[in-house]
């Protein structure tokens, strides 16, 4: 019984760590309409996993490097005349396809591909927890430190420049933070669901939030409830944990959106 408690506690802590990292950052993803950007960065993680296994490297740094490289490539392409959705579409699907092909070519390596695609939170180890919470602390600290600059650059880039803030620099900060979130979240929800955890909690918190800070705190709450609720649902109904977390987040989004509509238009 103690073993059961141990792995459930580790899974719960992992989910909370990812929620803490992803939710505030996800607010900027929602405000900047960068949902597909997060998805493209996540898809690059599969290629990072394949390179790590093929070269005998550690998976986490390789995923971080691949996600960061993807984010920087997309930013460069959009600055060279490519439409954002075109650049994201090309890079995202190319990285995912190349990663999947590379993984299948590693015949001498045993790999649970589904765990990387959809997450395997129940297999989180104590060392994984250290990486997840270390990454969460880094992202949260970076977000708090650059909050004013990120917010002003998001709302009004011209005003940001007039205030001595470089919007391009703030975009690079956001890019780095997104890559870190992808690297720490891959074990919990997998590369195909990371974008959902970035977008759904902030979108759910938005209808009831009056300030950007309130929306960020609300997103953390929704993300935490989604992680714990999804873990409970997976344990009770024997469903995949990563998709269960996303389903709970979607349910909370529906409830809070309806609550926001009722508050704006009371009967």
Q: How far apart are CA 124 and CA 220, in angstroms?
A: 21
Residues whose CB is less than 8 angstroms from the CB of residue 166 and which lie 6 or more positions away in sequence, other chains included: 160
- Flag whether pLDDT at 3 surpasses 50: no
Q: State residue 173's pLDDT score.
A: 87
Secondary structure (H, E, C), 183-249: HHHCCCCCCCCHHHHHHHHHHHHHHHCCCHHHHHHHHHHHHHHHHHHHHHHHHHHCCCHHHHHHHHH
Q: State residue 1's pLDDT score.
A: 45
Q: Which of 1-5, 21-25, 42-46, 239-243 has the lowest mean pLDDT?
A: 1-5
pTM of the full predicted structure?
A: 0.88
Q: How far apart are CA 154 and CA 215, in angstroms?
A: 15
Average pLDDT, the chain: 85
What structural domains does the chain harbor? 2-191 (1.10.3470.10)
Helix axes 212-237, 241-264, angle to 10 degrees: 140
Q: State residue 83's pLDDT score.
A: 63
Q: What are phi and psi of 207, to 5 degrees?
A: -60, -25
Q: How far apart are CA 26 and CA 2, in angstroms?
A: 35
Write down the residue that tokens 């929704």 correspond to: 222
Q: State residue 115's pLDDT score.
A: 80
Bin 119: left if φ > 0, else alpha if -120 < ψ < 50, else beta. left
C-beta atoms surrounding 230 within 10 Å:
27
Q: State residue 267's pLDDT score.
A: 59
Q: Which of 2-6, 130-134, 148-152 has the lowest mean pLDDT?
A: 2-6
**pLDDT top residue among 112 and 243:** 243
Helix axes 2-31, 35-55, angle to 10 degrees: 130
Q: State residue 212's pLDDT score.
A: 93
Q: How far apart are CA 208 and CA 4, in angstroms?
A: 37
Confidence of residue 4 (pLDDT cuts 50, 70, 90): very low
Q: Which of 2-16, 42-56, 71-85, 210-224 has the lowest mean pLDDT?
A: 71-85
Write down the residue that tokens 């960061």 correspond to: 68
Tell me the CA end-to-end span of the chain in Å, nearest whole number: 50
**pLDDT top residue among 65 and 255:** 255
């Amino acid at each position: 019984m103690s073993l059961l408690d141990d792995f459930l506690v580790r899974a719960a802590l992992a989910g909370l760590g990812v929620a803490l990292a992803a939710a505030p950052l996800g607010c900027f993803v929602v405000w900047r309409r960068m949902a597909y950007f997060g998805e493209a960065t996540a898809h690059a993680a599969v290629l990072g996993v394949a390179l790590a296994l093929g070269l005998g490297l550690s998976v986490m740094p390789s995923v971080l490097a691949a996600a960061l490289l993807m984010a920087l490539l997309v930013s460069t392409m959009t600055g060279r005349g490519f439409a954002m959705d075109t650049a994201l579409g090309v890079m995202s699907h190319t990285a995912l396809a190349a990663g999947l092909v590379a993984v299948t070519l590693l015949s001498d390596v045993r790999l649970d591909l589904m765990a990387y695609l959809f997450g395997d939170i129940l297999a989180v180890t104590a060392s994984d927890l250290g990486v997840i919470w270390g990454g969460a602390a880094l992202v949260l600290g970076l977000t708090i430190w650059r909050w004013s600059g990120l917010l002003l650059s998001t709302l009004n880039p011209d005003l940001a420049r007039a205030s001595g803030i470089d919007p391009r620099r703030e975009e690079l900060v956001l890019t780095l933070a997104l890559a870190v979130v992808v690297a720490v979240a891959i074990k919990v929800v997998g590369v195909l669901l990371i974008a959902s955890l970035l977008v759904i909690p902030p979108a759910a918190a938005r209808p009831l939030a009056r300030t950007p800070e309130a929306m960020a705190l609300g997103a953390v709450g929704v993300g935490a409830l989604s992680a714990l609720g999804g873990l409970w649902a997976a344990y009770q109904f024997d469903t995949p944990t990563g998709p269960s977390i996303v389903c709970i987040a979607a349910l909370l989004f529906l409830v809070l959106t309806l609550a926001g509509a009722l508050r704006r238009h009371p009967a």
